[in-house]
Amino acid sequence: MTQVGFWSIAQSRPTIVAVIEASGRTVTAGELLEQSHRLVHGLRALGLERGDSVALAAPNCSETLALFMAVTQAGMYLVPVNWHLTAPEIAYVLQDSNAKVFIAAERIAAVSREAADAAGVPSTARFAIGEIEGFQPFAALTRGQPSQLPDARSAGAPMTYTSGTTGRPKGVRRPVGVADPDTMAAAQAGFLSLFGIMPGSSGVHLVCAPLYHTAVLNFATNHLHLGHTLVLMDKWSPEQTLALIAQHRVTSSHMVPTMFNRLLKLPAAERERFDVSSLRHVIHSAAPCPVPTKQAMLDWWGPCIFEYYSASEGGGTLATPEQWLQKPGTVGKAWPISQIRILDDDRKPVPQGEIGTVWIRMGDFRFEYYKDSKKTADAWNDGFFTVGDAGYLDPDGFLFLCDRKADMIIAGGVNIYPAEIEAQLVTHPAVVDVAVFGIPHADFGEEVKAVVQLQPGRAGDAALTAELTAFLSSRVAKYKLPRSIDYVAELPRDPNGKLYKRKLRDPYWQGRSSAI
């Protein structure tokens, strides 16, 4: 029988490399296993029990993975905190999640101290990866603790917080019970088989985005449950991504369309320097991928690019490379354990091919928004949940996404989906990144605004605005054209490519009723 599950694999094959950190340091499966066991004993020695939460704010490192493997065999919750947040934002997560322990990295020492103070975290519950004044060393959690398999094991889970791009973040919390951790590990590893990544396979998985993101953490740890090696990036760049793929013969990764766009903007000579032939499964999600971008990546990397639709709350759909080539732009068909419905604003089914809100069912799976019963109730309907995305199903059951309902522009009663405009504008040679959103208009309610980040050396002047408008004119209907285009040095995206559109849009709506 093929062996799956990190704890089992690491016990039988302790010398295999589990993690290659950004510094180049390698961590064996045996070392990671021993640390995870000691962490369980250390957390319990502090008084933590099943159902308690441990918060972590740290860049990609092996400690994050050891902590994940500890809490998910101790029936606890791991709360991965976006370490780019401000101190008040981190303090909110610490308080909202009822974190019993806070672990932070030296890189954000000042912010971590301020957040811990504001959240009232006791000094005995503060631990630092590195050195932070007033925090105990991370090693204190494991020092003197036994390295053997803990008793009373039960499956825990991550409790990730929504990004907060459309409001204050909420923890997505799934029940933890008495399920066997090894059984859950087998199920999590089995998820990768949807993409053709099978138990018993060998592989090297490139972690090129922060582990505090739900999908990044899940895909990384699922690969550990298959016995694969993780290569961690500290900060993403297109050049470093290609270099690591070539150096470590990477077989898989999880990316977002923004990364594809940046990779494709590299000069052809730079791209051709690196051997990417080892890639077998490059999986992407998080935002609609422009059809020209996806086609260009398939032309470059071959039929190894898989797309899925999901969220922190669950999922979803899958499009294999072959399916996408047959139906360009689709995010795929429902997973075997999932169902998709398209409903109108009254939660009634819409005719096939018409745009509505996407609702998902994943078996008997349930979640709640922690401490927000209203938001939880609004997200569920007849066993299906929604995160507010708009889309439609074609006659063959393939899902096509349009945009977030919250981002939709309503101009003179006409619905305009910014993602459609963004997908075209980003393909212009001068454009590195783009955001499209609605701003107030006296007659129509809203008008289309574009904000563009340019390639170095390009000037955002009237001539370029005219060029971009003409470029769009042959690609989208006239009523979808931006009435104005602004130029910025960089768009506000998080390190995983998620666009904080509110930071651009909200100033225009101050003192007014916006579309959201």
DSSP 176-234: --S--HHHHHHHHHHHGGGGT--TT---EEEE-S-TTSHHHHHHHHHHHTTTPEEEE-S
Q: Alpha carbon 96 to chain centroid distance?
A: 21
> Domains, the chain, ranges and CATH?
28-148+155-175 (3.40.50.980), 337-405 (2.30.38.10), 408-509 (3.30.300.30)
pLDDT of residue 510: 74
Residue with tokens 């301020």: 114
Confidence label for 180 from pLDDT (cuts 50, 70 and 90): very high
Percent above pLDDT 70 for the chain = 97
Of 272, 229, 72, nearest to 154 by C-alpha is 72
pLDDT of residue 229: 98
Q: How far apart are CA 70 and CA 36, in angstroms?
A: 5
The partner residues of 449 in beta bridges, in order of sequence, read 437, 484
Q: How far apart are CA 242 and CA 139, in angstroms?
A: 34
Q: How far apart are CA 509 and CA 465, in angstroms?
A: 24
How does the average pLDDT of the chain come out, rounded? 91
The partner residues of 368 in beta bridges, in order of sequence, read 173
Contact 295, 261 (CB under 8 A): no
Residue 299, burial from CB neighbour count under 10 angstroms (0-12, 13-18, 19+)? exposed
| Statement: residue 496 has pLDDT above 80 | no
**Which span out of 13-27, 168-182, 283-297, 460-474 was modeled with the highest average pLDDT?**
13-27
**Positive/negative CA dihedral, 423, 449, 286, 316:** negative
| Statement: residue 416 has pLDDT above 90 | no
Confidence label for 166 from pLDDT (cuts 50, 70 and 90): very low
Q: How far apart are CA 167 and CA 177, in angstroms?
A: 30
pLDDT of residue 165: 45
pLDDT of residue 204: 98
Summarised one tens digit per residue, pLDDT across range 102-153 is 999 999 999 999 999 999 999 999 999 999 999 999 999 999 999 999 999 9
Q: How far apart are CA 406 and CA 319, in angstroms?
A: 25
pLDDT of residue 415: 78
- Provide the 3-class DSSP secondary structure of residue 32: helix
Summarised one tens digit per residue, pLDDT across range 357-403 is 999 998 877 788 888 888 888 888 888 889 888 899 999 999 998 87
pLDDT of residue 178: 77
pLDDT of residue 514: 46
| Statement: residue 512 has pLDDT above 80 | no
Contact 205, 230 (CB under 8 A): yes
- Provide the 3-class DSSP secondary structure of residue 436: strand
| Statement: residue 436 has pLDDT above 80 | yes
Confidence label for 170 from pLDDT (cuts 50, 70 and 90): confident
| Statement: residue 164 has pLDDT above 60 | no
Summarised one tens digit per residue, pLDDT across range 13-28 is 999 999 999 999 999 9
Of 459, 454, 416, 451, nearest to 435 by C-alpha is 451
pLDDT of residue 167: 57
**Which span out of 158-172, 286-300, 363-377 was modeled with the highest average pLDDT?**
286-300
Q: How far apart are CA 221 and CA 228, in angstroms?
A: 9
Q: How far apart are CA 205 and CA 252, in angstroms?
A: 5
